[in-house]
Structure 1
Amino acid sequence: MIIRRRLLCAALLLSVSLPLAAPARAIDSGALFETELERLSEILGALHYLRPLCGAKEDQKWRNEMRALLEAEAQAQDRKVKLMASFNRGYNGFRQTYRSCTPAADLAVRRYLDEGAKIAREITARYTN
């Protein structure tokens, strides 16, 4: 399974440098790949809600990154539905909890940026040629 160039573009926004590397070594790499893409989608949704709430002037940046991820990795409708559901879960989970930026919301942003960058690096390292 090859990650398309657009996934790397989405991942770059989460991290300064995301190197491309070798193929997967996991036993069930397909299931792991799906799990990682769903988590990355959830993080993008959370960031789409939290970053503007905490003052970032990013407008639709994270939604656009999700669109790029869908274009690159969700050719099948069932995959697209799963990834969109993950994005919405991330967004709605924080929308239900936070109405203003709090120290906890700011901490969540920092943690999600770190986790998203880590997942993006792992995905590109495992699944690209």
Structure 2
Amino acid sequence: MRRAVLPCLALWLAAASAAGQAAAPAAPPPPAAPPPYQGQMLRLAELLGALHYLRGLCGAADASAYRERMTALIEGEAPDEARKALLAGAFNRGYRTFQQTYRSCNASADATIRAYLDEGGRIARDIGARYAN
């Protein structure tokens, strides 16, 4: 009798284990690790948002170019939805920060534009030099 119980018990455990595995939903794939330059990309996106606002405020004809550059940056990175949201959020944060601060173009806005153009150029060169193929 004892010999008949052990194989039955083993079969039952195997069947229960297989049923439990079949019923368990598949785990979603882990999110892709962010690239090593993600912090720099977020800062660049924030600068683009600020420049989009400030250049428009100061009447520059190229104000919309910064939004177009942001679109190209997102498309070029081909991020998943989470990274796309991070980059877009940084752009919007840069835009809104200066929208709340500046109501008209002045010397301070001009100085910020120059500083942000310089910083953005440095970031772009650094990313290109370190991570471009």
- Gapped regions of structure 2 (runs ≥ 5): 1-33
- Once the two structures are TM-superposed, the CA of residue 59 in structure 1 deviates from its matched residue by 4.5
What TM-score do you get using the length of structure 1 for normalisation?
A: 0.74
Greater RCO (CA < 8 Å, at least 6 residues apart)? 1
Match of 2:79 in 1: 75
Which residue in the other structure is 2:66 paired with?
A: 62
CA distance in 1, matches of 2:62, 2:40: 24
Task: Quote the offset at 1:55 in angstroms.
Answer: 2.1
Partner of 1:36: 40
Q: CA deviation at 1:60?
A: 1.7
User: Which structure shows the bigger proportion of residues in helix conformation?
Assistant: 2
Aligned identity (percent) is 53
CA contact (8 A) 2:51 2:63 kept: no
Task: Measure the CA separation in 2 of the matches of 1:82 and 1:43.
Answer: 14
Note the C-alpha offset of 1:74: 3.6
Structure 2 CA distance for aligned equivalents of residues 77 and 39 of structure 1? 18
Structure 2 counterpart of 1:30, one-letter code? P
Task: Tell me the secondary structure at the aligned position of residue 61 of structure 2.
Answer: coil
Q: Which has the larger radius of gyration?
A: 2
3-state DSSP class of the match of 2:35? helix
Aligned mates of 2:79, 2:45 — CA distance in 1: 15
Distance in 2 (CA, whole Å) between partners of 1:89 and 1:105 is 17
SS at match of 1:30: coil
Per-residue deviation, residues 2-47 of structure 1 (Å, max 9, x unmatched): xxxxxxxxxxxxxxxxxxxxxxxxxxx934x000000000000000
Aligned mates of 2:62, 2:38 — CA distance in 1: 27
Aligned to 1:120: 124
SS in 1 for 2:62: coil
Count of matched residue positions in the alignment of Structure 1 and Structure 2: 100
CA RMSD of aligned residues (A): 1.3
Q: Quick one: structure 1 residues 92 and 46, their matched pair in 2 at CA, closer, same or farther if it must change by over 3 Å?
A: same
Structure 2 residue aligned with 1:105: 109
Unaligned runs of 5+ in 1: 1-28
Residue identity in the other structure for 2:98: F
2 CA distance for matches of 1:127 and 1:74? Answer: 16
